[in-house]
Chain A
Amino acid sequence: AQSVTQPDIHITVSEGASLELRCNYSYGATPYLFWYVQSPGQGLQLLLKYFSGDTLVQGIKGFEAEFKRSQSSFNLRKPSVHWSDAAEYFCAVGARNDYKLSFGAGTTVTVRA
């Protein structure tokens, strides 16, 4: 079964600074990988996803993520954060033979002025 680890529970970053959120997955084959964002009390919104091809994936809101097979990682980055990026971020992995997603525990991002 697949699983996801997000090592950082909470990250604080200054507005305008860069952001990187870590995600490590466990899966026996090439996975489907996703990043979602959740604002307080809301559902999850898809930021980006990786299925195959170019390992650098561009998403919405200026986010990108890079798939590194050798490290079993799919880290999320943003070059310059805005106060509106304060939220909880979830990495997820999906198997290729079914449509069930496994989510990490999430990383809460706080943006300070």
Chain B
Amino acid sequence: SQTIHQWPATLVQPVGSPLSLECTVEGTSNPNLYWYRQAAGRGLQLLFYSVGIGQISSEVPQNLSASRPQDRQFILSSKKLLLSDSGFYLCAWKVGAGSGYGYTFGSGTRLTVV
């Protein structure tokens, strides 16, 4: 079956510390993958997307970076976290194609930078 995994579920990190969030999908190959951030009281902001290994597109200039070292693995990173990086991070995977596509979301990571 096709599933998406995201971890950790909750993370509390001090300002200036590094970050690594991981997202993996199962049951598919060469998926389109996306990182979204949801800040308190705001909608979802697309941060990065990837259409293949090593291919990363950044939507918003920021303190974060993304990598796709394997076909079904998508990693969100930061070298030094800022308070403004706090939020709920969601990984998504495009399922389907053409007029039948949609997104399946992971369960999210709640990041609090203190």
Question: Could you tell me which A residues sit within 8 Å of B by CB distance?
Answer: 4, 6, 9, 32, 34, 36, 41-46, 49, 51-52, 90, 94, 99-106
Contacts and interface: CB of A to CB of B under 8 A. Distances in A.
Contacts of B106: 43
B105 A102 contact: no
Interface of B: 6, 32, 34, 36, 41-44, 46, 49, 59, 90, 92, 94, 99-108, 110
Given A49-B102, A99-B32, A99-B94, A43 B43 contact: no
Given A34-B103, A100-B59, 17 more contacts: A4-B43, A41-B108, A41-B110, A43-B6, A44-B44, A44-B92, A44-B105, A45-B105, A46-B103, A51-B100, A90-B43, A90-B44, A99-B32, A100-B46, A102-B46, A105-B43, A106-B42
B52 to A, nearest CB: 13
9 contacts: A4-B43, A34-B103, A43-B6, A43-B90, A43-B106, A99-B32, A99-B94, A103-B36, A103-B44
Nearest to B49: A100
A43 B101 contact: no
Contacts of A106: 42-43
Given A43-B90, A101-B46, A105-B42, A32 B99 contact: yes
